[in-house]
Amino acid sequence: MKTISISKIKYVLIMVISIMAFSCSPEDGPIGPMGLQGEQGLQGPAGQDGADGQDGTNGTDGQDGTDGQDGTDGENGADGNANVQVITKDISTVAGTFEDVPVSQLTQDVIDNDVVLGYLKASNNDLRWYPLPSVDAAGLPFNVSVFISMNFYSLDFRSQQTNNATYSVTAGELDTLKVVIIESTSSTTGKKVSKESVYNKLKSAGIDINDYYAVCDYYGLEY
């Protein structure tokens, strides 16, 4: 067996150290190509919902506004329970002691159930309406009695001076006759009511049925 000399061993060690020194150089080699992208991992489980936040504090109620002022009450309207007709007749040619004035609206039903009012205007007074029947009316030299029958409103003339004797009017002495028919029917029930109830309503409303203008105003009629 041959003996390795110490000088050879030293030589070998020096060579090994030199090789190691060159292999540890700070200059790295070029970067290799990028590897393939790995597969996407499985999605993790959803996290738990967070706790609800605390409700906010309710705001303060606003102050109530001031109440408005009540409006003025309107005037009372005409009686809603009545359907009113006004029939106007020219009687300027009437002459004699008695006259049947034709009024076709005077049916038997009207005579039996409704209120019929009459007013007369003489030719010597353009504004005043005398209620019928008329007794001792200022401005008229005669009284007037009334008879109501189907289709007729009849006038009977009597003297104021000679113990209610017949009085003969002359043509042109009279001017106009107004016949007002107030139907006795309730607008709320559609049923007939008594004549007396119509009279009572007019009276309670302060309406004088002898005043033609007051009746017209109450029912909203033209003069």
Phi first, then psi, for residue 11 (nearest 5°) are -65, -45
* pLDDT higher at 35 or 146: 146
* pLDDT higher at 222 or 48: 222
- pTM listed for this prediction: 0.61
Which tens digit of pLDDT belongs to each residue from 8-65? 666 656 665 655 555 545 555 566 666 666 676 677 677 677 787 787 787 787 787 7
Residue 19 DSSP one-character state: H
Q: Which of 146, 80, 85, 92 is nearest to 124 (CA)?
A: 92
- Judge residue 153's burial from the number of C-beta atoms within 10 Å of its C-beta, 0-12 exposed, 13-18 middle, 19 or more buried: buried
Q: Could you give the CA distance from residue 160 to residue 204 in angstroms, rounded to a whole number?
A: 33
Number of CB atoms found within 10 A of residue 38's CB: 6
Is 131:143 a contact under the CB 8 Å cutoff? no
Q: Could you give the CA distance from residue 143 to residue 159 in angstroms, rounded to a whole number?
A: 6
User: Phi-psi region for residue 151, left (φ > 0), alpha (ψ -120 to 50) or beta?
Assistant: left
Residue 119's contacts (CB-CB under 8 Å, 6 or more residues apart) are 129, 130, 131, 132, 177, 178, 180, 212
The answer to whether the peptide bond before residue 26 is cis (omega within 30 degrees of 0) is no
Domain residue limits, the chain: 85-183
User: How much is the average pLDDT of 112-132?
Assistant: 92
Q: Could you give the CA distance from residue 217 to residue 209 in angstroms, rounded to a whole number?
A: 11
Q: Using CA of residue 85, residue 87, residue 122, residue 196, what is the dihedral sign?
A: negative
Q: What b/e string do you get for 12-23 counting C-beta neighbours within 10 Å, with b at 16 or more?
A: eeeeeeeeeeee
Which tens digit of pLDDT belongs to each residue from 185-214? 755 555 678 899 999 999 999 999 999 999
